[in-house]
Chains A and B, each alone.
Chain A
């Protein structure tokens, strides 16, 4: 029983890491006032490219870099459409997302069923020897630790730096920001690229570390979960992280309970993480003033500089 619980809680961090990376990236994009719905497609494409590169090079690091680069490239296509050609953000996001999914299946056909080695877990000296907690918190792979650090860094950037303040106000009102001498288009472009890089890491982690076996539909809706986490987490990095870890824990709980032979219908366990995550995050976001203060007011609106 205890072992199962440790398995669930320890595994939750790894399961949540792709969601966390993608959601943190999308959070920054949305805070700048752009809704990028191509997260699923960016994750899928970078998962395939990272898998392919890791398979060829034998290096996870190179695979992650390739994944991030392909995520950034696809997000740049989206950025050109919405910032350059003023395309509707929802339509452009869906189109670019479908492009990413299609490319992912196409590339992935050549290594369908291939496997990779995962990466080693790092046991932090001393801390990992704490009973129970040591195994849950301090025996994880490096990317999980980076994800936790990234949450803090994104929060620090948004709420403690001048650049973060600029990004937030551009998401509230790009016209006013422009009138005050800021560059909404440039800032949004950088934010979209950051979102692409983060989705790239997320895809790379999913295909080369979490389940290092290529199959089509590798991402399986996790990009959409990430988009939902941003909204339900009321655009606050900490809450988004809580949502991601909660989702990870509950999805593993189902597996653990099945393994223990507890007779709950599998369908119920499959939908439980979705239901529970929504319930918890809705409760978090019940305070409307908070939501109003954190939601980017100009989200989804095209911006054109006055001429």
Chain B
């Protein structure tokens, strides 16, 4: 049901309103996740909810979708006060949601997954899925088992599932975080088509450029409060960011690297067989990181990055006969475990901060000890607490880690502060080669900027850094050369200064060939 905007005049009750939130408040214990939020969405409008991690976006979406209930405030749906008591109720009202972490079951087929929310016979449903995927340009195979699908395909399944319920409001939670630049373009085409058909879209994101390109209006959240309702098409990325983080983005400029010819980390023909049948095997991965450069590895996650980190860090080792496939500073180390590789000058910052980078239930002091024990913290098998604590405190001071002192548990720190602590700890070890995986994933802009700056400082001090990241912007900002991983294969390296995000985007879906290599050689 579409009402022309003109009819709103004089009727008082704003009939063109689809969803209106008034004073929505939600707290978890002492933490106020949403503080008196007001939002107003009209049919066919693409409305952005913009905010950093932890600003309260996800909580707000859960409230709208009925996953959780607000402590105070009113939700008006099509002008009437409505209680959205469960996701089933939300769906019945005409609200569909595509989650950031997909809500698909892996062991059953696409059609079976969709059958939970769209009633009907499976065969009939399969026909409808095929029809919808054609109408909206979302290629989906109803009989495929979900565990075999890529993240992009899974997202299309989620979208088709929502669309089959003919929603009037579609909620998308960080939909582009798993997509290549080309796939993002395709998604936007679909979303604009939906908007033209009168479906309103609530688009949650922290990516400013996307919001400016796609959305008609935006609500900006910071620390659980609304800091602005704007038309993003009339704003700059800079002004949006200022509303999002409350101050100007710290701008960093990096000098060009001056790598020398010496190869600090070399991987030659690394192939693996994963134990998990659903994981991606590495297929003949080759790369060389020179001294004093940052070598970036781009790619959609799940293309072998995890296996590469495990084999480089020494969490998994190669048989002695293949030890030469990984070399650090000219020594074959493929057969060595993590501790021995660290002794050779390797340091590793894993993707999982809690559990791999730090032990959640231990204090920062003890977490310092985990990798820093060679800095004189252990004497004759006994821990020298004073030395350990001094190092932890210095790390906290130098990295500006916000915490309740060096005795606080790692799990009590925010993601950004914990990452600063981990980076600081690894820097104190004075590594020669550093492998870093997703260093700024899910942390606030301030911490991310600092972490990137520290990596550049290390590079300038002659450390070789391998940076595995999903954030193209980050790779373009600080890496000197980069390669792309796709289905366990590694593309030839390219120089960051001579390539474009579009070219990297093509490589992220497997389009890479000898031309790139020639371009690289010519540039050298």
Contacts and interface: CB of A to CB of B under 8 A. Distances in A.
Interface of A: 162, 165-166, 168-169, 172-173, 176, 178-182, 288-289, 292-294, 297, 306-307
B86 A162 contact: no
Given A288-B277, A289-B277, A292-B278, A181 B107 contact: no
Interface stretch (B45-53, B112-120, B338-346): B112-120
Contact of A180 (B69, B106, B117): B117
B107 A293 contact: yes
Interface string B90-126: 0100000001000111111000100111000000000
Given A169-B105, A289-B277, A292-B278, A181 B112 contact: no
Interface of A is mostly: helix
A27 B147 CA distance: 23
B116 A169 contact: yes
A181 B277 contact: no
Given A169-B108, A297-B107, 7 more contacts: A165-B108, A165-B112, A172-B107, A180-B103, A181-B87, A293-B147, A306-B68
B277 A292 contact: yes
B interface secondary structure, majority: loop
Interface residues of B, number: 25
Contacts of A162: 115
Contacts of B115: 162, 165
Contact of A181 (B69, B86, B147): B86
Given A168-B108, A292-B278, A182 B116 contact: yes
B280 to A, nearest CB: 14
Contacts of A288: 275-277
Contacts of B88: 181
Contacts of A292: 276-278
A293 B276 CA distance: 12
B413 interface: no
Contacts of A293: 107, 145, 147
The interface centre, meaning the residue of A165, A166, A180, A297 with most chain B CB atoms within 10 A of its CB, is A180
19 contacts: A162-B115, A165-B115, A169-B116, A172-B105, A172-B106, A172-B107, A173-B105, A176-B104, A176-B105, A180-B103, A180-B117, A182-B116, A288-B277, A289-B278, A292-B277, A292-B278, A293-B147, A297-B106, A306-B68
A181 B117 contact: yes
A180 B108 CA distance: 15
A306 B115 CA distance: 23
A166 B113 CA distance: 10
B68 A307 contact: yes
Contacts of B275: 288
A172 B107 CA distance: 8
Nearest to A181: B88
Interface of B: 62, 67-69, 86-88, 91, 99, 103-108, 112, 115-117, 145, 147, 275-278
Given A162-B115, A288-B277, A289-B277, A306 B107 contact: no
Contacts of B99: 179
Q: Which of B67, B105, B108, B117 has the largest number of chain A CB atoms within 10 A?
A: B105
A78 B28 CA distance: 30
Q: Which of B106, B107, B276: most chain A CB closer than 10 A?
A: B107
Nearest to A289: B277
A306 B67 contact: yes
A110 B514 CA distance: 85
Contacts of B107: 168, 172, 293-294, 297
A289 B104 CA distance: 18
A180 B277 contact: no
Contacts of B103: 176, 179-180
A166 B112 CA distance: 10
A182 B275 CA distance: 33
A176 to B, nearest CB: 4
A294 B106 CA distance: 11
A179 B108 contact: no
What 6 A-B pairs come out closest when comparing CB atoms?
A181-B88, A289-B277, A176-B103, A169-B105, A180-B116, A288-B277
B425 to A, nearest CB: 32
Contacts of A179: 67, 87, 99, 103
A178 B68 CA distance: 12
A165 B116 CA distance: 9
Interface-centre pick from B116, B275, B278 (highest chain A CB count, 10 A): B116
Contacts of A297: 106-107
Contacts of A172: 105-107
Most buried by B among A165, A178, A179, A294: A179
A157 B422 CA distance: 50
A172 B108 CA distance: 10
Given A172-B105, A288-B277, A180 B112 contact: no
A125 B235 CA distance: 86
B157 to A, nearest CB: 13
A30 B67 CA distance: 26
